[in-house]
Amino acid sequence: MGKIHKKVLVLGEDTRSFLTVVRSLGRAGIEVHVGWCRRKSPATYSKYIRLIHNIPNPSSSSEDWKGCLKNVLVKENYDLIIPCHDEDIIPLQLNKEYFKEVANIYLLDDYAYKIASSKHASYKLAKQLGIPVPRQMYISPSVGIEQIISKIKFPLVLKPLTSFTEDDLIHRKDVEKIFTLESLEDVLPLMLSDGDLLIQENFDGVGAGVECLAKDGEILVAFQHFRVHEPLLGGGSSYRKSVLLAPELMDATSKLIKALNYTGVGMVEYKLNTETERWVFLEINGRFWGSLPLPVSAGINFPLYLYELLVNGKTKFQTDYPVGIHCRNLTLDIEWMRANLEADKFDPHIRPYQFWSIVIEFVKNIFTLRERSDTFVVDDLKPGLFDILIWSSLKWKGIKKKIKSKLQHPMCFCKTSGDDK
pLDDT at residue 63, rounded to an integer: 67
| Residue 157 bridge partners (DSSP) | 177, 200
pLDDT at residue 418, rounded to an integer: 44
Amino acid at 51: L
Helix%, strand%, coil% for the chain, nearest 5: 40, 20, 40
Domains and CATH numbers, the chain: 7-106 (3.40.50.20), 135-201 (3.30.1490.20), 206-373 (3.30.470.20)
Q: Are 201 and 271 in contact (CB under 8 A)?
A: no
Question: b/e map of 182-221 (b: 16 or more CB within 10 Å)?
Answer: ebbeeebeebbeeeebbbbbbbebebbbbbbbbbeeebbb
Q: Are 285 and 206 in contact (CB under 8 A)?
A: no
pLDDT at residue 146, rounded to an integer: 86
Residues ≥6 apart with Cβ < 8 Å to 219: 212, 213, 253, 254, 257
Angle of helix 247-259 versus helix 119-128 axis, rounded to 10: 110
Local mean pLDDT, 10-residue blocks, the chain (421 residues): 78 96 98 92 96 89 83 96 96 93 94 95 97 92 86 90 79 87 91 89 93 98 95 84 98 98 98 94 96 98 98 97 96 89 74 76 91 96 96 86 76 46 42
CA-CA distances (angstroms) from residue 83 to 41, 93, 107, 194, 306?
A: 16, 10, 8, 25, 12
pLDDT at residue 254, rounded to an integer: 98
Nearest to 296 by CA among 89, 63, 7, 48: 48
For residue 346, how far is the Cα from the chain centroid?
30
Burial class (CB within 10 angstroms; exposed 0-12, middle 13-18, buried 19+) of 132: middle
Tally of CB atoms within 10 A around 276: 9
d(CA 221, CA 91): 28
Please give the radius of gyration of the chain, using alpha carbons only, rounded to the nearest integer.
23
| Cis amide linkage into residue 155, ω under 30° from 0 | yes
The DSSP code sequence of 44-105 is GG-TTEEEEE----GGGT-THHHHHHHHHHHHH--SEEEE-SHHHHHHHHHTHHHHTTT--B
Residues ≥6 apart with Cβ < 8 Å to 37: 11, 12, 13, 18, 43, 44, 52
Nearest to 69 by CA among 78, 51, 56: 56
d(CA 102, CA 97): 10
Coil/strand/helix, residue 195? coil
Question: b/e map of 136-155 (b: 16 or more CB within 10 Å)?
Answer: beebeeebeeeebeeebeeb
